[in-house]
Amino acid sequence: MIRPPSSADTVVPGDGTSAPVIDAEGHFHATDAPIDFSHYLLEDWLALAFFWLLGLNVFYQFFTRYVLNDSAAWTEEIARYLLIATVFVGIAPAVRRTRHIHVDFVYRLIPARAGRAMSTLVDIGRVVFFAVATGLTVEMMTRMGNYKMTVIDLPVNIVYGVCALGFLAAAIRSVQTGVENWRRGFSLLERPEHAIEETV
């Protein structure tokens, strides 16, 4: 993934910035970047919970298959559902940070005012899409009724409910991002370098 540097970077040169990365004996000294959890919100932690459950589940499956030579059938189904939950809940934080994969080269070719208009349309379109997706998922859930999962005796609507929640969170975050872009007068589509300047 090519991304601008961000809080994502776990390693930074040297301790601080001035000390050389390589010392006189030819040994390398990178240090871990400070960790800051303050910009993670509710949906980040929810996605993290699903992801770690997924990890535990898959490790358990790995263990049963290689050590006990007998993998439980439910682990595979649960793993797939937890992956779905992680992804659909994880959409919202990426909306908030404008980290979804997008194409922004057009903005370098058109005048600033046209860019402003187009990025405003994008902000609106994003809200509309996630709102419609939430509605469609809820509609699908009402059609599904009491359908059960394949192996486990639980309603499949639990999974779809989490997806609906994820879409709803993404819709809300899209509104917030849109409002913020409107207030400050530009979005990251118009000024991609802004994301880097904030962190470098």
Stretch 119-158 residues interacting with other proteins (CB under 8 A): 119, 121-122, 125-126, 129, 132-133, 136-137, 139-140, 143
The answer to whether 2 touches 9, Cβ cutoff 8 Å, is no
Least Cβ distance, residue 167 to other proteins (angstroms): 8
Judged by phi (left if over 0) then psi (alpha if -120 to 50, else beta), residue 9 lies in beta
* DSSP 8-class letter at 107: G
Q: Which of 78, 116, 157, 163 binds other proteins (CB under 8 A)?
A: 163
Query: What's the closest the beta carbon of residue 28 comes to other proteins, in angstroms?
Result: 4
Q: Are strands 30-32 and 11-13 parallel, antiparallel or unpaired?
A: antiparallel
Is 10 a residue that touches other proteins (CB under 8 A)? yes
The site for other proteins, by CB under 8 A, has a size of: 85
Q: Identify the H or E element spanning 148.
A: none
- Burial class, 95, CB count within 10 angstroms (exposed 0-12 / middle 13-18 / buried 19+): buried
Burial of 20 per CB tally in 10 Å (0-12, 13-18, 19+):
exposed
Closest to other proteins by CB, 42 vs 136, is 136
Cβ 183 to other proteins shortest distance, Å: 19
Which residues 51-70 are close enough to bind other proteins by CB under 8 A?
A: 51-52, 54-55, 58-59, 62, 65
Smaller CB separation from other proteins, 54 or 172: 54
What's the rounded Cα separation, in Å, for the pair 111 and 17? 38
| 100 touches 87 (CB < 8 A) | no
- Least separation in angstroms between residue 143's CB and other proteins is 7
Q: Is 184 in the site for other proteins (CB under 8 A)?
A: no
User: Which x/- pattern, by CB under 8 A, does the window 68-107 give for other proteins?
Assistant: --------x--xxx-xx-xxxxxx-xx--x-xxxxxxxxx
For residue 1, state whether it binds other proteins (rule: CB under 8 A). yes
**Would you say 105 or 145 has its CB closer to other proteins?**
105
CA dist 194 and 2 (Å) reads: 16
CB 197 within 8 A of CB 5: no
* Stretch 18-37: interaction string toward other proteins, x if CB under 8 A: --xxx---xxxxxxx--x-x
